[in-house]
Amino acid sequence: MKKLFLLLIIVFISCNSEQPTQFSTDAYKEMLIGLDDSKITLREVLYNYKGKKIFIDVWASWCKDCIVGVPKVKELQKEFPGVVFLFLSVDRSNPSWKRAIKRYNLKGVHYNLPEGMKDGKFVDFINLNWIPRYMVIDETGEITLFKATNAADKKIKEVLKKIK
């Protein structure tokens, strides 16, 4: 009986591990705030970098693990200079978010998810329950890495090295 229960759990987990390759329509419509306080949808941001590989870093200024991962993200930026580094902050305070970008000298494209970590179509779509969260979008717009929570995860480099 225990073996059957264990088998059912394994099957259930493996069935639910399917990773999406496209954002949902609702996630694409998520409104982001730019450094200049402008508003833009996720779809528009991604469209601006069509044909390029995009590394997404979902983070917050108050997140210790996010800050610990910054040096590794900077190493990735040096190793993959052709990749767009898109930082999506879940800070609810724009001044804190902007100060952290300067403090940690984060180079890349920056937007804020104004509804924070618990609300919003994008965070719902990616089932955001931990930050940092890293994703990779390939040159064709497909999500090739849906979930990594450590900037040193070997899967990140694997998908960044792949050429479409």
User: Residue 141 belongs to a domain with what CATH number?
Assistant: 3.40.30.10
CA distances from 79 to 6, 68, 96, 136 (A): 42, 19, 29, 15
Per residue in 109-162, pLDDT tens? 999 998 877 888 888 888 888 899 999 999 999 999 999 999 999 999 999 998
Q: pTM for the full model?
A: 0.86
Residue 125 vs residue 46, higher pLDDT: 46
Residue 15, domain member (yes or no):
no
Neighbours of 21 (CB within 10 A): 13
d(CA 66, CA 60): 7
Q: Which helix (H) or strand (E) holds 154?
A: helix 154-161
What's the confidence (pLDDT) of residue 122? 86
Closest CA to 164 of 83, 88, 108: 83
Query: For residue 157, is it within any domain?
Result: yes
Q: Is residue 18 part of a domain?
A: no
Question: Cβ contacts of residue 160 below 8 Å, gap of 6+?
Answer: 53, 55, 76, 79, 80, 83, 136
Domain count, the chain: 1
- Within a domain: residue 10? no
DSSP 48: H
How far apart (Å, rounded) are the C-alpha atoms in residues 46 and 111?
12
Structural domain of residue 130, as residue ranges?
Answer: 23-161
Report if residue 13 sits inside a domain. Answer: no
